[in-house]
């Protein structure tokens, strides 16, 4: 097993990039309705669904987590889990501050 493929850093990067890509996938899915990213973000903040959208974008982290577990890259899986908890903590802060 290559140690470069089994690190917490790699898992953190994957755990942060995958939800961001999923979040923007929602934008590209609804691009016909909004057209401009500013309208999209205005809509999700105005409708108070930002935290729900971010929570939905965390679901693909399950795929990354189980991918690393299945290939016995436990440190990378820890990184994905840590990134998911980091997103959860940020969402909790946003919820409490709103």
Q: pLDDT tens digits, the chain, 98 residues: what are they?
A: 566 689 999 999 999 999 999 988 888 887 667 677 788 888 888 888 888 888 889 999 999 999 999 999 999 999 999 999 999 898 888 888 87
Residue 60 domain-assigned (yes or no): yes
Look up the pTM and report it: 0.83
Residue 8 domain-assigned (yes or no): no
User: In whole angstroms, how large is the CA radius of gyration of the chain?
Assistant: 15
Structural domain total, the chain: 1
Residue 1 domain-assigned (yes or no): no
The residues, ordered by sequence, that sit 6+ positions from 87 with a Cβ below 8 Å of its Cβ are 16, 19, 54, 58
Expressed as residue numbers, the domain containing 63 is 19-97
Residue 9 domain-assigned (yes or no): no
């Amino acid at each position: 097993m290559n140690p470069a493929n089994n690190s917490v850093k790699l898992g953190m990067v994957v755990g942060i990039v995958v939800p961001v890509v999923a979040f923007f996938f929602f934008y590209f899915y609804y691009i016909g309705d909004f057209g401009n990213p500013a309208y999209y973000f205005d809509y999700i903040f105005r409708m108070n669904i930002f935290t729900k959208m971010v929570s939905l974008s965390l679901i693909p982290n399950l795929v990354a987590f189980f991918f690393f577990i299945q290939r016995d890259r436990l440190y990378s899986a820890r990184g994905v889990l840590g990134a998911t908890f980091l997103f959860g903590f940020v969402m909790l802060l946003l919820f409490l501050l709103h």
